[in-house]
Amino acid sequence: MNIYDLPAIEDRITGNPYVGRGIVIGKSANGKSAVCAYFIMGRSENSRNRVFAKKDGALFTEPFDASRVKDPSLIIYAAVRQYENNLIVTNGDQTDTVAEGLAAGKTFSAALATRAFEPDAPNFTPRISGMLTFDGGDFTYEMNILKSADAAGTACNRFTFSYAPLPGVGHFLHTYVTDGNPIPTFQGEPERVAVPDDIDAFTDALWNALDKDNKISLYVRYTDLASGGVTERIINKNQK
């Protein structure tokens, strides 16, 4: 526990077979770094056939074995992208929707108002998104979830959460509660978690807590607020 008596990230995940895709955003305990993490999990062969790869400064999901890809529409996308002083992280192609919206003068929330949950009935996977906005040696962050209003997917409910960063405090937003058929959708506000100073400690704790059969890839980024320097970690289950 940290000074805010928050659970560690592993306490939110360990023993849960399927939290789906997840975003963590917050500030390191010493207050020196903006922290962002994104992970993917999968149950189907198509979903598990992926890796994270950096290209042109952005983070993409890519096929591990291109010959085995059955449907790339919901599994291949830019997951993390920088636009000006904003770092965007999402679980789908709405990363580009946000970047394009910002370029057109829209807010994070207004850009995402043009999108809805994924059309993968009966699960109707939520689209989850986050954005860190850097300014004056500090940052603020927002998180958003687009989720089906009912089991039939007849309408979309949209929720945006805005946060002032506090040292050692992060927020964890994920697509599912746990495994199921259909898979139950995340409920409520993003969960508060402790954020340590050490990127490797945080990366290891998060990766090791994810279910060994269903986890696929993890990306963790610490941005030094004084210098703007970036430290990154990528773990791909398909690339030892």
Residue 3 included in any domain: no
Q: At residue 1, does pLDDT exceed 60?
A: no
The string of pLDDT tens digits covering residues 98-141 is: 999 999 999 999 999 999 999 999 999 999 999 999 999 999 99
CB burial of residue 11 (10 Å; 0-12, 13-18, 19+): middle
Q: With contact defined as beta carbons under 8 Å apart, do 156 and 148 qualify?
A: yes
Residue 2 included in any domain: no
Residue 91 included in any domain: yes
- Residue 238 neighbours by CB under 8 Å, 6+ apart: 48, 49, 50, 51, 64, 216, 217
The string of pLDDT tens digits covering residues 60-85 is: 999 998 888 888 877 889 999 999 99
Q: Supply the range of the domain harboring residue 190.
A: 9-236
DSSP state of 239: B
Residue 201 included in any domain: yes
CATH number at residue 223: 3.60.20.20
How many whole angstroms separate alpha carbon 119 and alpha carbon 85?
A: 31
The string of pLDDT tens digits covering residues 201-214 is: 999 999 999 999 99
* Tally of domains within the chain: 1
